[in-house]
Chain A
């Protein structure tokens, strides 16, 4: 399980996003990382004040996905953005997924090398 060569240069904002991408690849699900930014608020000069770029888009499911931590404050902030996005762009399907501990399950299912990679980058983030 590895990222396709054209996606290897992608820099994910969080290790859990890379883990999510690896799982999608494992299942053969096509994905795009932050392919679109949705303006949510504008000033009187029509300049964008607030925008939102969901983490993933899955074209086969026509679904945007935003990953969030388990921290309630951040989660509710993202929920507000998603609600606004749905008001402005009702044709867009988007879901908020909570980031979860994937390492243990990946090891259980024999995906050890990827699991180690994720744990390594999580450790880097914590230390950095």
Chain B
């Protein structure tokens, strides 16, 4: 890694893909700060729409929050500002919230997508939350739908567009620790121009 460079990572993940575990492993390995809920809440406070932060967290739509479209635009703007400030600080893993789109083109940002097969994700959620597998499948479906819609509605982007990412890691067989090692290796190869040096 070039001296003085401040690399940041956006981490886009599916429910049950162990994305948060990967982020934690990256933190342990690189000492980066991990930002997730703080980002959501800060954007809510800045935009004066804290209920939208709650809406973002409500992945399953259980709270039934309705917010006028004009507030969503203000919140989106605040989110972008907070994200850009984080990248200026550097050494941060930003989880979710369309970071792969907002920060696309930033040479010092690596975009990572963490995926896993639908059935395995549902099994992980069922085990982690001690709920029936059928309910876990429904949670995975709802989460996928909401995250897909967020990117489409706010940025007219497709979550599963591989062009948005530098790395796509499938945790069906790759452990969070191995995923973090791959990400750390990529960070170490980054050059100030945003290209990767060779292995």
Contact = CB atoms under 8 A, between A and B. Distances in A.
Interface of A: 1, 20, 23, 26-27, 29, 58, 60-63, 93, 95, 97-98, 100, 102, 105-112
B53 interface: yes
A4 B142 CA distance: 27
A61 B54 contact: yes
A106 B64 CA distance: 12
A29 B51 CA distance: 13
Interface centre among B45, B54, B142 (most CB of A within 10 A): B54
Given A29-B54, A58-B54, A60-B37, A110 B61 contact: no
Contacts of B59: 27
A29 B64 contact: no
Contacts of B60: 105, 109
Interface residues of B, number: 28
A63 B51 contact: yes
B138 A27 contact: no
Instruction: Say what secondary structure dominates the interface of chain B.
Output: helix
B57 A108 contact: no
Contacts of A61: 41, 44-45, 50-51, 53-54
B120 interface: no
B154 interface: no
Given A61-B44, A110-B136, A98 B54 contact: no
Given A62-B45, A63-B50, A110-B134, 6 more contacts: A23-B63, A27-B57, A60-B37, A62-B50, A98-B64, A111-B131
A107 B60 CA distance: 12
Contacts of A29: 54, 57
B89 to A, nearest CB: 21
Nearest to A98: B64
A27 B41 CA distance: 14
A112 B132 contact: yes
